[in-house]
Amino acid sequence: MPANVLLFVNNFGINEIQFTYLNGIFEVVVGLSLLTGVFSRMFAFLATLFLCTVILFIGFNEVIVRDVGLIGGLMAIALWPERRM
């Protein structure tokens, strides 16, 4: 975990272990939302924001290329027009 992220979360009284657990819980909730379709647009948007902050904190490397693809897929879910019956 980058040092600047740890300094930021320490301002809120959260240590690195707690932040890792919170991050994992968030990712599981996003995954469950996308699988079930419950609040999928909202969680797709939140996951997009999360991946954008990862890019800002980490910088450009080979893992970020994967994240850019994920951002595209999540934005498609978040912005896709709803079907009208």
pTM for this predicted structure: 0.83
Tokens 């991050």 label which residue? 23
Instruction: Assess whether pLDDT exceeds 80 at residue 54.
Output: yes
How do residues 12-42 score in pLDDT, each as one tens digit?
999 999 999 999 999 999 999 999 999 999 9
pLDDT, average across residues 65-79: 92
Q: Please give the radius of gyration of the chain, using alpha carbons only, rounded to the nearest integer.
A: 15
The pLDDT-based confidence of 85 (bands split at 50, 70, 90) is low
Q: Three-state SS across the chain?
A: CCHHHHHHHHCCCCCHHHHHHHHHHHHHHHHHHHHHCCCHHHHHHHHHHHHHHHHHHHCCCHHHHHHHHHHHHHHHHHHCCCCCC
Contact 71, 48 (CB under 8 A): yes
